[in-house]
Amino acid sequence: MTKEMINNIVWKACDTFRGTLDSSEYKDYILTMLFVKYLSDFYKEKYEELNKKYKGNKERIKRALLKEKFVISEDATFDYLLKHKETSNLGEIINKVLMKIEEDNKDKLEGIFRNIDFNSEARLGQTKEKNALLRHLLEDFSELDLRPSKLEGRDVIGDVYEYLISRFASDSGKKGGEFFTPSEVSTLLAKLVSPKEGDRIYDPTCGSGSLLIKASKEIGNENFRIYGQEKNGQTYALCRMNMFLHQIDDADIKWGDTLRNPKHLIDNRHLMKFDKIVANPPFSLDKWGYDELKEDIFNRFTYGLPPKSKADYAFVEHMLASLNEEGVMGVVLPHGVLFRGSSEGKIRKGIIEDNLLDAVIGLPPNLFFGTSIPTVILLFKKNRENKDILFIDASRDFEKGKSQNRLRDKDIEKIVNTYKERKTIDKYSYLATLDEIKENDYNLNIPRYVDTFEEEDEIDINEVKANIEKIESELKEVKEKMRKYLEELGL
C-alpha cells in the first residue's frame, strides 16, 4: 500500500469521531488503532512465512515467533477484534487486547497503552453509541493491509504516522502545538545541530518525537541512540509508538516532568550527558516548579533561577547541564528570551560570558500550531573556539499558508548555509563580537544587529502632480458623458 492509500483510509476513519470528540482527543484512538493494526499485520506475515518454512509445525513456528521483534497472541490481534465487533462489551474487549499486547511484549511495550481507554463512557458515549463508534472504527481499519511486504517502502508506516500527527495538530489549533513540531522546523533544527554517527541525541520535551526522528535521519545509518522525556501521558505513548513505526526500537523515552523529575540519570544522582540536544519546549510555561526547585539536587540552575511565571530559561539551563563537553544544542523559544531583564537578563549574561551561545536565528511568524508569536532558534555549543555570535533574521523568507506559514526547502538551505559559513549578509545576518553584545547590555534582540530597513523609493512630486491632473481630466470627461446619458433618458 502507498502512503496516500493509507492516509485516505485512516482519514476516513476519523469521520467516525468527528462531532463526538475534538481531534486532539480522537487522535489517540486513531493512532493507537493504527499501531495495533501494524503489529497484527506484522505478526500475520511472519506467521505465514514461518508456517510455510516449517510446513505447519506449530511448535517450531511458536519458538521462531518468540524471537521476532514483537510477540502477538492470536487473541490479541486486530483480526480477533474484528471478529468481536458485534459484541455488547466491545470497548472492554479492545482494552483487554491492549493489555495482552503489553504483557506479551513487556520489555518494549509495557505501559504504552495505559493512558488510552476504549471503554470510556465519558469520552465515547453510552454503550450503544460507543459500540457503534468502535465497530465503525474497526471496519474502516480492516481496509488496511500493513504487512511489511505490502508497504511501498520501509518507512511508509512511520511517514504515515507523522503525517497523521501533523494533520491532527493542525486541526487541534493551540492544543496541536503541545504534541507536534512542524516538520520543516524539525528538519531545520536537525540540520543545524548536525548529528553524526555514534551520537546520543536528547529531547527533554519530546512530544510525539518528531524532532528526535528528524535528527536521527540526518545521520544516515542506525548508529545512534535516542533519549526523550514527555510530561503528557498520552503524548508519551504516541512518541513510543512513533519510534517503533520508524524502526527505532531502542529509543529511551521516559514519562514525567523534566524540570521537576528528570528521568535520564546516572546512579539516580547525576544528569546523563548527551552529544546533541534538540527541543521545542512549551513557550513561557508558568507554574513550572519554581518553589520546589530553589534547591535543585541536580545543580542545574548555576546561572540563576528563572522567574516564577516563565520556564524558558529553566529548560535552557536543564539542557546546558545535560550537554557533554563537546555537545551542541538547538532550542526553539519565544523572542522574549532575547531581551527580558531581571533574573532572565542575569542568566543570559552568564551564558554569553561563558561563551556558550553560538547563534540566534529569528524565524518567520505563524509557523507553529495554535500560536502566531514570533520565535527564535538559539544554538549553543560547549567548548567553542570562536567568541562571536551569529545573528540571522530569517523572518521574511517563507511560504504563506491559509492558517499557518511554512519554511520552504530553499529557506532552510539558506539558514543552514549561512550558519555554517558564519558570514555577514546585508539585511539577513550579522556576526557580532562579544564587545558589541556587551555594548548592548547583553540584549540579543535581532534588529540591534541585523538592519533589515528598506529605504523607500524617492517620490517624484512632478510625476505625482501630472498623474493627479490626468485623473481629474478623465473624471471630468466621465462626468460629462454621464450628464448627457441622463439628459437622453429624461432624468
pLDDT tens-digit map of 434-490: 999 999 999 999 999 998 755 555 677 878 788 888 888 888 888 888 877 777 777
Note the pLDDT of residue 454. Answer: 56
At position 195, the amino acid (one-letter code) is P
Note the pLDDT of residue 25. Answer: 84
Residue appearing with cell numbers 528570551: 337
Q: Give residue-wise pLDDT tens across range 322-357.
A: 999 999 999 999 999 999 999 999 999 999 999 999
Q: Report the distance separating Cα 423 and Cα 352, nearest Å.
A: 20
Residue 116's closest CA among 225, 198, 38, 34?
34
CB–CB of 239/208 below 8 Å? yes
Q: Report the distance separating Cα 43 and Cα 69, nearest Å.
A: 9
Concatenating the DSSP letter of every residue in 271-301 gives E--EEEEEE-PPTT-SSSSTTGGGG-TT---
Note the pLDDT of residue 19. Answer: 81
At position 157, the amino acid (one-letter code) is I
Note the pLDDT of residue 259. Answer: 97
Kindly indicate the confidence band of residue 175, based on its pLDDT and cuts at 50, 70 and 90: low
Residue 187's closest CA among 421, 413, 7?
413
Contacts of 445 (CB under 8 A, 6+ apart): 335, 338, 339
CB–CB of 276/203 below 8 Å? no
What DSSP character marks residue 385? Answer: S
CB–CB of 38/1 below 8 Å? no
Average pLDDT over residues 419-430: 95
At position 425, the amino acid (one-letter code) is I
Q: Are strands 357-362 and 375-381 parallel, antiparallel or unpaired?
A: antiparallel
Residue 141's closest CA among 229, 192, 98, 79?
79
- Across the chain, mean pLDDT equals 91
Strand partners, 278: 330
Note the pLDDT of residue 62. Answer: 86
Contacts of 395 (CB under 8 A, 6+ apart): 362, 363, 364, 365, 374
Q: Report the distance separating Cα 156 and Cα 138, nearest Å.
A: 21
Q: Report the distance separating Cα 432 and Cα 441, nearest Å.
A: 13
Note the pLDDT of residue 482. Answer: 82
Residue 268 pLDDT greater than 60, yes or no:
yes
Residue 28 pLDDT greater than 60, yes or no:
yes
Q: Give residue-wise pLDDT tens across range 118-174.
A: 999 999 999 999 999 999 999 999 999 999 888 887 778 888 888 888 888 777 655
Burial 311-321 (b: 16+ CB within 10 A, else e): bbbbbbbbbbb
**How many alpha carbons lie under 13 Å from residue 54 in its C-beta half-sphere?**
15
CB–CB of 318/378 below 8 Å? no
Kindly indicate the confidence band of residue 256, based on its pLDDT and cuts at 50, 70 and 90: very high
